[in-house]
Amino acid sequence: MREALVRPGLISLAAGFTDNPSLPVAETRDIMDAMLRGKAGQPPLQYGTTAGDEELRVLTARRLAQLDGQSAKAKAYQPGRMMITHGSQQLLYILTEILCDPGDIVLVEDPSYFVYLGIMQSHGIRGRAIRLESDGINLDHLEHTLEALKKSGELPRLKALYLVSYHSNPTGITTAVAKKAAALKLLRRYEPAAGHRLYLIEDAAYRELRFAGDDIPSALITDRAANRVIYTSTYSKPYATGVRVGYGILPGPLLAAALRVKGNHDFGTTNILQQLIIRAITTGAYEKHLAKLRQRYAKKAAAMVRACRDDLPTGVNWTEPTGGLYVWAKMPARVKTDFKSRLFAAALRQKMIYVPGNLCYCGDPTRRRPNREMRLSFGSASSSKIREGIARLGRALKKVL
């Protein structure tokens, strides 16, 4: 962001911002105008509750059950298990605080969401990286890692497996539901040796930004007793990132602990923003906006993939996203991508910027941190800027090669 400010003309394919021209300005103005009329305008301007607005929790739980193809009456989708947070980022932070002590271990995808890795680092939590395949984590590697932790006596320090399971940040990969079920089963198998529950944290931040293929049910459907899966998601990405209303479904004891911590943080997410989301959903504005957004991101993702095909030299590989905001690209052997690399400097000289892939890898003593990849976002740049940005990257790469 700093580079973009100090270098005019820089094309940033780095920031995970959403698309400015499609932000729902008129819809939000209409909703706010209707909401703030007469006495009905008073409650949104008042404090709410720590868990979040009851109506929003009911609506969100119902939408989630519908997405998962389950009855809204099923145990997993009870609004009483849900909390509304200031973005899902706040919930990820709170979860880490209530689940982990310094020195504990969390399993993450390799690579994973770098801001979550930052939360882990600031809590002194050790990461163990689970290899990724095109449909999610490699289950053999998960089992091998659990077994290795058991043998080294470290399993009691393990607390959770964190998956960004839909159109992941940074890779764009979506985890197959069978993999989520198998991962949960494996975690349960190792619980006796761990001496406590091992939770599966499913971060579904990009679930609704799907523009190809079918939706996949969440891990909640694989958790019959509704006591091992923590589901986090957000209205930021599908509605407006400036609104920052997130939510989560948590097993009972964890919910109580999370609410105590949230009470200390803020005793409730901004009420007027929750009311805005309620009205966006109940008036149908939310679904309409989402449909437009999906079309727009589908076009921008296609523009990015086409530009990669046209302008990047042979030896570069990339993922083709079916949703979300990112393409994950891997450079030819020996081409490094970190901030200090020749490629990063060459890209800056060409006036384009990307997120170095090494930032998305946790420090794991069992492997070297990879340094050949980059995250390219099609979220905020226009299609023409995306094409130009990739062409510049292509020129930078050719110089380095």
Q: Which residues bind ligand PLP (CB under 6 A)?
A: 16, 87-89, 113, 164, 169, 203, 205, 234, 236, 241, 244, 246
Give 92 or 316: the residue with its C-beta nearer to ligand PLP.
Answer: 92
Q: Least CB distance from residue 209 to ligand PLP, whole Å?
A: 11
- Reported as half-sphere exposure (CB side, CA atoms, 13 A), residue 16 has a value of 20
Q: Least CB distance from residue 131 to ligand PLP, whole Å?
A: 19
Closest residue to ligand PLP, based on beta-carbon distance: 87
Q: Least CB distance from residue 14 to ligand PLP, whole Å?
A: 12
Q: Least CB distance from residue 92 to ligand PLP, whole Å?
A: 6
Q: Least CB distance from residue 235 to ligand PLP, whole Å?
A: 8
Q: Do the Cβ atoms of 311 and 327 come closer than 8 Å? A: no
Give 140 or 266: the residue with its C-beta nearer to ligand PLP.
Answer: 266
Q: Least CB distance from residue 247 to ligand PLP, whole Å?
A: 9
Give 57 or 244: the residue with its C-beta nearer to ligand PLP.
Answer: 244
Give 335 or 376: the residue with its C-beta nearer to ligand PLP.
Answer: 376
Residue 201: beta bridge partners?
162, 230
Give 360 or 393: the residue with its C-beta nearer to ligand PLP.
Answer: 360
Instruction: Please state whether 257 falls in left (phi above 0), alpha (psi between -120 and 50) or beta.
Output: alpha
Give 117 or 259: the residue with its C-beta nearer to ligand PLP.
Answer: 117
